[in-house]
A and B are shown apart, each in its own frame.
Chain A
Amino acid sequence: MRWLGLALVVVAAATLMLGVADLPPHGAHDAPVHTHVGARYLERGVAETGMRNLVTAVLLVYRGFDTFLEVVVIFSALVAVVALPRGRAARSRDGDDQPPAALLTREGPAQERISVSPVVAFVVQLLGPFIAVFALASLYRGHVSPGGGFQSAAIFGALFIALALVQGRERAARLVPRGARVWLQALGPLSFALIGGVGWVLTGAFLGYPAEAAAYALREAMVVAVEIGIAVGGAVILAQLFMAMEG
């Protein structure tokens, strides 16, 4: 059994090495990956979508369906996690009450809750507003500069988790009111469906964006609306996932 695992890893390594041996060197401009639609997106992407950040253009316009369902995937993950019974309530066997911190050690002793260093707490609270502004900037300028909805969601989610760690879960949970949470956590799929519907009415295709140069402002508003949906929805989902992990 011990050697079986090692043998599997060796076989996998050998197979992968054989596979990568034939790949073109890194950074070659004529590698197969660059010979398909990528060149077309680079050439016509700005004219067709009005976004100068072509990663966002591919994400929201050329591969819009993919991103829509991706947002649905992370929402489904939240549904799955929340649908499980809460850990402490399900604990029935011999009434042991170890905190989740003991999970990594084989027979970890029940550990006391580690108090947060005042330095860490101060730094997190000092940097909190700046992190939030950075997340907002990366959201609002995501289609013309580096950034975007998912990046913003990750920054917001990380900020929430940092605050929850230093201020306690109860105080952090108040950042997202319970009534609004139900709708905010579904904001990603909802905004995508809504803007997709608007595009359907305007262009006749679900998730279509009006292509005329005159509709630039409308198109930009649609893109920003989807990005806000992804960012807020994603951030609330990350926060909810963190809150649901309580053992």
Chain B
Amino acid sequence: MVLFGVDVDYLAFVVLFCVGLYMLVRKSNLLKKLLGLNVMETAVFAFLVTSGMIEGADPPIRTAGTGPLFANPIPHAMVLTGIVVAVSVTAVALALIVQIHAHYGTIEVDELKGLP
């Protein structure tokens, strides 16, 4: 299905990415910024993992009764790596946000500005 000249799947990824980007740059709350970053990551992962798809193909698990066409396993493996890195980034960012809240009593960027 084609919408605005591109595949509707690609359109969904672009929309999801831009929703995340908007949250990241426009929200003042650090937690919401982090959520935005995660939404962006989700868009990238969905884009990558679906790039391995082939119309009518089986998952890349070669057991009896599957094939002859299989989806590409490389994007799957790379997205798995990406998810682990995303989890790590989220964990460290959350810990830092807890620290900021403990130290300044707020996690709003506009209130944090100018604080010593």
Contact = CB atoms under 8 A, between A and B. Distances in A.
A26 B50 contact: yes
A52 B63 contact: yes
Contact of B101 (A31, A36, A100): A100
A53 B66 CA distance: 12
Given A34-B54, A103-B31, A146 B59 contact: yes
Nearest to A15: B14
A129 to B, nearest CB: 25
A245 interface: yes
Nearest to A21: B6
Identify the interface centre among B4, B9, B54: most chain A CB within 10 Å of its CB. Answer: B54
A14 to B, nearest CB: 10
A74 B84 contact: yes
B72 A38 contact: yes
B94 interface: yes
B55 A54 contact: no
Given A55-B73, A74-B88, A96-B105, A84 B63 contact: no
A245 B98 contact: yes
Interface string B71-93: 01111111011011101110110
A29 B62 contact: no
B7 A26 contact: yes
A55 B14 contact: no
A8 interface: yes
A232 to B, nearest CB: 15
Given A34-B72, A41-B74, A76 B88 contact: yes
A45 B67 CA distance: 14
B112 interface: no
B39 interface: no
A146 B76 CA distance: 12
A103 B106 CA distance: 8
Given A42-B70, A59-B80, A245-B98, A20 B62 contact: no
B96 to A, nearest CB: 7
Nearest to B28: A106
Contacts of A93: 103-105
A237 B60 CA distance: 29
A125 interface: no
Given A54-B70, A84-B95, A27 B54 contact: yes
Interface stretch (A63-71, A191-199, A218-226): A63-71
Contact of B95 (A57, A71, A81): A81
B22 to A, nearest CB: 5
Contacts of A17: 4, 6, 11, 14
A127 interface: no
A54 B10 CA distance: 26
Nearest to B83: A150
Contacts of B96: 84
7 contacts: A5-B22, A6-B26, A16-B18, A26-B53, A73-B88, A144-B61, A146-B59
